[in-house]
């Protein structure tokens, strides 16, 4: 991908984004021209005197529904008709966001993120404007702004040049299908708790293997479901088999009263 990745964010609350965009990784990425973020207030495209963007649902029921006219007008005036990039609705009904999806979206030169509010958006927005729907988990928030920020940061940190360490994003939890290995820094001893000796050895080959085994161990203990799809080597399988055998051996010994 050449040039800056562009985000077009459509929301009723653009002020939610502004402080975070001026902080840390996203701030540096924008300053260095790696990312462009454009905030669009959907209310600006409402045509009535009160700038109404929601209304009562047909058929009754509680809550309000975001109207289609301002959303279509906002997106099409910025992106054209049809839109020139993917339009992603942040919704609990979408596909659950993962590192794999972040990697997929990082290949796009531009993304539009549509933040719902209230009871959601008019179904015609889903059917005729949105090209993808993403959820950040099985729970409910008041709107799509925080999920959009989550997607924004997760995708941005994968772009070349964003992180100081070019391999940093690929060592993180989930990036390679495993949870990340434990980290230590100075001092080498704190309250009697020592940094593992191998990390002080200077032997980068042994350190690399230790980190891989720790990632496998942590994943096996906490998220064994991830191992089903993780890219594992023959050496990885041997290590996991040794963990299982050790557990089975311990259970057998306990059953025998050993």
Question: What pLDDT does 74 receive?
Answer: 98
Q: Give me the chain's average pLDDT, please.
A: 92
Question: What pLDDT does 2 receive?
Answer: 60
Helix axes 145-156, 24-31, angle to 10 degrees: 60
Question: What pLDDT does 172 receive?
Answer: 59
Contacts of 18-23 spanning 24+ positions with Cβ under 8 A:
20/149
Residue 202 DSSP one-character state: -
Supply the pTM of this predicted model. 0.85
Question: What pLDDT does 171 receive?
Answer: 57
Question: What pLDDT does 255 receive?
Answer: 61
Mean pLDDT to the nearest integer, 11-24: 96
- pLDDT tens-place string over residues 76-110: 999 999 999 999 999 999 999 999 999 999 999 99
pLDDT confidence band for 170 (50 / 70 / 90): low
Asked if residue 170 lies in contact with residue 176, where contact means CB atoms within 8 angstroms, the answer is yes
Integer Cα distance of 7 and 25 in angstroms: 15
Asked if residue 87 lies in contact with residue 130, where contact means CB atoms within 8 angstroms, the answer is yes
Residues labelled catalytic? 92, 119, 157, 172
Q: Is 65 helix (H, G, I), strand (E, B) or coil?
A: strand
Angstrom CA distances, 198 to 113, 187, 208, 212, 238, stand at: 45, 15, 10, 13, 21
Tell me: pLDDT of 176 over 90. no
Integer Cα distance of 136 and 146 in angstroms: 9
Q: What are the helix (H) ranges across 141-233?
A: 145-156, 168-171, 204-222
The distance from CA 199 to its chain's CA centroid, rounded to whole angstroms, is 30
* Cis status, amide bond into 141, omega within 30 of 0: no
Asked if residue 173 lies in contact with residue 160, where contact means CB atoms within 8 angstroms, the answer is no
- pLDDT tens-place string over residues 35-48: 999 999 999 999 99
Task: Identify any residues that bridge with 111 across adjacent strands, giving them in sequence order.
Answer: 7
Give residue for tokens 């390679």.
176
């Amino acid at each position: 991908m050449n040039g800056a990745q562009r985000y077009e964010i459509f929301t009723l609350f653009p002020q939610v984004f502004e402080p975070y965009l001026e902080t840390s990784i996203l701030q540096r990425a924008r300053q260095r021209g790696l990312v462009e973020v454009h905030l669009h207030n959907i209310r600006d495209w409402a045509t009535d005197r009160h700038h109404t963007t929601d209304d009562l649902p047909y058929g009754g029921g509680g809550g309000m529904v975001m109207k289609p006219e301002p959303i279509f007008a906002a997106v099409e005036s910025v992106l054209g008709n049809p839109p020139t990039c993917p339009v992603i609705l942040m919704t609990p009904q979408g596909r659950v966001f993962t590192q794999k999806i972040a990697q997929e979206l990082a290949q796009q030169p531009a993304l539009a993120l549509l933040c719902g509010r209230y009871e959601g958006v008019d179904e015609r927005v889903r059917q005729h404007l949105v090209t993808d729907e993403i959820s950040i988990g099985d729970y409910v928030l008041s709107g799509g702004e925080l999920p959009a920020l989550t997607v924004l940061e997760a995708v941005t940190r994968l772009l070349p040049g964003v992180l100081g360490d070019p391999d940093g994003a690929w060592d993180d939890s989930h990036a390679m299908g495993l949870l990340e290995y434990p980290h230590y820094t100075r001092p080498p001893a704190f309250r009697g708790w020592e940094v593992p000796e191998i990390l002080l050895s200077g032997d980068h080959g042994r350190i690399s293997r230790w980190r891989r085994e720790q990632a496998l161990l942590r994943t096996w203990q906490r998220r064994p479901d991830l191992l089903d799809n993780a890219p594992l080597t023959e050496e990885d399988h041997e290590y996991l088999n040794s963990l299982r055998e050790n557990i089975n051996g311990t259970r057998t010994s306990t059953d025998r009263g050993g």
